[in-house]
Structure 1
Amino acid sequence: MADWNPRVVALDIDGTLLKWVDGQTEDYETITAPVHDAVHRALDAGAHIVLSSGRSPHGMTRIADLLHIPREDADQLWVVASNGAVVFRYPPMEVVHEETFDAAPAVAAVLEHHPDALVAVEERGVGGYRVNRVFPEGELSGEQLITEVGDIVGEPVSRVIIRDPAATADDFIELAARLGLHGTDYVVGWTAWMDLSPVGVSKASGLQHVCDALGLAAADVLAIGDGRNDIEMLRWAGRGVAMGQSVEEVKAAADDVTASVHDEGAAVEMSRWFPPRED
């Protein structure tokens, strides 16, 4: 790849741009100078920056603001949210693509095994969530409106979060494999946190939508991420790079592994293609 240069840089947020911690607080949402500068060097070189996260749309716009993108007089930013189910431009927020599905059967199947699990669906356009019970502090952004599960998934949705603080990530991985969750794709996070999404929808499918609009291809994309929900994106991109703290299955899906988020791995990788200017 000696003569290759990324034309799109797809960046996960939590654990990639931000130093993910349990019980995250607003203070956690801090962009370091190395990451900020590397993003802007990529923009200087003409690359498109695309934020790509499992977060809801409203949980991503403030990260764009912290990065100071898009720049003044630049085109709206492309953002892939909800693990690819929602693609929008910003600012202002303008949803250009959304995938929805009937989540009720999958949610019922999981609750049969984890009856005390928490369930949430984003209130699109508002920024809060409908939840069956309140999530632990710091895990969801915005207001949480207590709602019966039947009403939460009573109509097509783009993404459902299921969280069981009493279980582990391995518990959820084993359960999902056992259930099959027909008609639904899923991804398990670092903890017992499962995102349910429409079949075939991932960060890769969302980014493909962006590339189609830009007249570019997967081969033009540098993607950086750290979680299981990044696996499809890392495999799909021309160059997929896992953060140093990623679990082995994420590293195995990548073309390369950079430093950990605590050692500015995203900035390290971007600097390979967009190096600082020598004074």
Structure 2
Amino acid sequence: MYNNVKTASPDDVLFLRYRMYSGDTSDTNQLMIPCFWGFLIPAAREQAGEPFAMMHMRIPGGTFQEIPVSAAQVVDVENGYRVVVRFINLPQEFWGQGKAASAVFQAKDRPVILCKVTGFLNNYLRSLVLATFQIAFLAALGCTVGAAFSTPVAAFAAISYLVIGFSVQAAITAPLQNEDGSYQYKGFVDKAAHKFAQLVSVAVVSVDDLDATSDLIKGNLVEYRRIGWAFVNLVLIRTGIISGIGIWILTRRELGTVIKR
């Protein structure tokens, strides 16, 4: 069930994008998966209790798929612009000679509804705004360490900060994840290290978090909410604090120079 699926025009086309696996996500020998996909048709609800338009499909496991459907037919405007999707994994007799397997969806590849909100140029300009925030933060970091230390030490401190940020982000995503998105820990030490990395990520900024390249590639919208949060968190708070520290350090150093004279 997907709520608040609003389109610019009822004539727009929605796409249901997903990737599913046969049996196990780590199995390289993926099978052709027979299944039914269906969409609830709100206009036909008076004629039947749950009028679903079902489609019989055979999907190669491990591949991305997109199902186009008309927004006018499946969007229930009266119930919060809702789209209801149904999936049925078929039993053994539909698999032919192959052995039936469960259809597995990973959390990151779960079925999502895609609809056109804006064009590529607009989305690209939004990603440039995030890139500008990255540059502002890096500039503030460089100026602050440059005011506090000599050039070699300042370069080492700035690079170390960035490396820690990248390392922490890699440590957060290192543990394997279950199909529901939860993490798999090998033991207490592995879990403690992961929790520590999550704690450090609160204080250390990974500029890679603002990289919108993957969103542009996948066609995901760079939302204004994300830009606003990045502006508040990265520019106003973190960049502001680092800039304030740099100004204070530079002022103290200049004051020391005047006193020496």
Same fold (TM over 0.5): no
Compare CA radii of gyration and give the structure with the larger one.
2
TM (norm. structure 1) is: 0.20
TM (norm. structure 2) is: 0.21
